[in-house]
Amino acid sequence: MGIRGKWLRAKRGAWICAAGAFAAAVIVAVYAAVVPTGQTLPAGSKATPFALTVFSSPSLPPEVQAQEAATAPLLFDRDTTTQHVAFDVSSVQAAFESPQSVSAIKIFGPAPYLLSVKADAGGSFQSIAGLENLNLTALPAAWNTFTAAAPVTTGKILLTLTPATGGSASGLNEVELWTTAAPVTVKSGAALLAQLLGPTPPPQGRAYTALNSSATPTTAVVTPNDNSQTLATNTFKFTLDRDPAHFVRVYLTYEQFGQGSLVSVRRLINASQPATSQAGGSPILPNSVWSTQVERINPAVLIRGINTIQFKVLSSSFTNGGFTVRNVRVVGELDDGANTIETISANQPDALGNNPVEALYDGDLATGWQPYPADQPIEAVAPSVEFVFRRPTQMEAVSLYLSAPIAGQVQLSVKQAGVWSDFPAEAGVAFDTGWNTISVPATVPPESRAYEGARLTFSGGSGSSAEVREFLFVGSGVGGRTVPPKIFIAFPDAGQFYGRVGYVQGFVEPWNNGSGNATMTLGGQTLVQVSGTIDGVRNKDNVGLAAQADS
């Protein structure tokens, strides 16, 4: 399976390559000291406001005030290539869903303004010490952090922009509001759902319950003979209270009875909207067991406001294709500054299945991964774990939690413009039980800190029983939020196929990068692409496996 077509190259491509080479030269010349902090995680997290109010200068014409209001959401759209433009002194009020302990503000790149930040305190806005009259005109083209003299707990922040001379910027690209709250890791959509339904939901998680118009609004019985009236009761609705661009990941979840897989259920998300996702409906795998389905979906097929999810049987000829669904939800994970990791892999196998590398990123300090497991062979000379990010991310720090002091050496490497560069290895004695944080050396310029991945390499510690219980990469995304393009597969998730047939369901992000829709092929055949949804079927004869036995 692949994507064909010409994706536009970023204008900064040549600059990034040069910066990557420069950063590599800088990194090997400096040391990033390890700071053990025991049970305290020093890293904070990003909080995204869900509502904005713009207060433009009354001297501006109404159409210009409307333009300011229209671009204000671009301040928090997780895309550093877009910008908000203020034409006179104006303010943007950012409201949180609950009070946050705001400790810093990040600004991407230069902007032709002075910025002052205030916090709501009992109905009036008060200046935040350390965040007053910040001159943004000469900032580097990177994330720049301004720290408050002391954290301020508030439910609303007021950003006041005053036009200033100097520099060549025409607007403000992006803003991030950071808090003292430690980030919480969630390893999967199923884990996110379970935690949101549990007693301690993760702060970056959001759950939206979808209901239908029947007397039993949480449940729908779907049959092959549904008509327009019954199809209406098979349609669930929920209201999304924020811009879907705020989410790093989104999942459609529901419980189903009568079919054994999510690909057996036809579901249509926002079928009447220009951006829609319609997939599933075969193969028919009848069963009599309730199961929970969790399917990753593209946030871009959602809208702020009312969204619909309809379930149906793909064809009335599928006489055994009926099913029941209940507890339909959409759950999402907001960008908290520490959930950019997309995939994790180790360079040695888990031969016995008791040393899963995924335990590094499951939010559970009771589970971990051992570089030097005593009960199975270590095939790599230097065991390592590689973390791939969804997009280039400007690093603030990495933190790892150890179950015990570790022997040998630990080396952090970072990937930039496709090239790996190593920080100098740190002696294991520099680490301690609990959290250990490695920050980027101050000598590395901010614009040279955007990385595509990170790697931990362990050496000389054979016999050590220490586990890495958790790994966090803290930073801020750089560039477009869907760059580079990527394919996400929801099914199969474990190599499933039926007889001679394999079913594939997922999406490509973005489905259109400005140069036209992506062309997708599956098993050598072009897929019909609607809003980036992947919904295809191929048999063994299509993919060169004609001689292979059926299953």
> Are 102 and 177 a contacting pair, CB within 8 Å?
yes
> Are 504 and 270 a contacting pair, CB within 8 Å?
no
d(CA 239, CA 258): 28
For residue 508, give the H/E element and its range. strand 501-509
Determine the pLDDT at residue 88.
98
Determine the pLDDT at residue 13.
30
Please determine whether the domains at 45-179 and 189-334 fall in the same fold group of CATH.
yes
Kindly state the tokens that stand for 305.
């406001």
> Are 202 and 196 a contacting pair, CB within 8 Å?
yes
Q: Percent helix, strand, coil in the chain (nearest 5)?
A: 10, 45, 45
Residue-wise over 140-165: b if at least 16 C-beta within 10 A, else e? ebbbbebebeebbebebbbbbbeeee
What are the φ and ψ backbone dihedral angles of 60, each rounded to 5 degrees?
-80, 145
Residues 59, 63, 67, 69: is their CA dihedral positive or negative? Answer: positive
Kindly state the tokens that stand for 402.
């150890």
Instruction: Work out whether strand 51-55 and strand 90-108 pair parallel, antiparallel, or are unpaired.
Output: antiparallel
Specify which residues 165 forms β-bridges with.
none
Determine the pLDDT at residue 498.
84
> Are 252 and 267 a contacting pair, CB within 8 Å?
yes
- Of the candidates 47, 120, 124, 59, the residue with the CA atom closest to the CA atom of residue 89: 59
Burial of 520 (0-12, 13-18, 19+ CB in 10 A): buried
pLDDT in tens, the chain (551 residues): 333 332 322 222 333 233 333 333 333 344 568 999 999 988 899 999 999 999 999 999 999 999 999 999 999 999 999 999 999 999 999 999 999 999 999 999 999 999 999 999 999 999 999 999 999 999 999 999 999 999 999 999 999 999 999 989 999 999 999 999 999 999 999 999 999 999 999 999 999 999 999 999 999 999 998 888 888 899 999 999 999 999 999 999 999 999 999 999 999 999 999 999 999 998 888 999 999 999 999 999 999 999 999 999 999 889 999 999 999 999 999 999 999 999 999 999 898 999 999 999 999 999 999 999 999 888 888 999 999 999 999 999 999 999 999 999 999 999 999 999 999 899 999 999 999 999 887 888 999 999 999 999 999 999 999 999 999 999 999 999 999 999 999 999 888 888 888 999 999 999 999 999 999 999 888 988 899 999 999 888 888 888 887 76
DSSP 257-311: ESBSSGGGSEEEESTTSSS-EEE---S--B-S--EEEEEEE-GGG--SEEEEEEE
Residue 74 makes CB contacts below 8 A (sequence gap 6+) with 82, 83, 84, 174
pTM for this structure? 0.92
Q: What's domain 2-43+338-477's architecture?
A: Sandwich (2.60)
- Of the candidates 216, 235, 217, the residue with the CA atom closest to the CA atom of residue 226: 235
Determine the pLDDT at residue 447.
95
* Among the four given CATH numbers 2.60.120.260, 3.40.50.2300, 1.10.3720.10, 2.60.200.20, the one describing domain 45-179: 2.60.120.260
**CATH fold for domain 189-334:** Jelly Rolls (2.60.120)
Provide the CA 34 distance to its chain's centre, in angstroms: 27
Domains of the chain, by residue range, sit at 2-43+338-477, 45-179, 189-334, 486-539
Strand order in the sheet with 525-526: 2-4, 519-522, 525-526
Burial of 138 (0-12, 13-18, 19+ CB in 10 A): exposed
> Are 506 and 529 a contacting pair, CB within 8 Å?
no
Determine the pLDDT at residue 551.
65
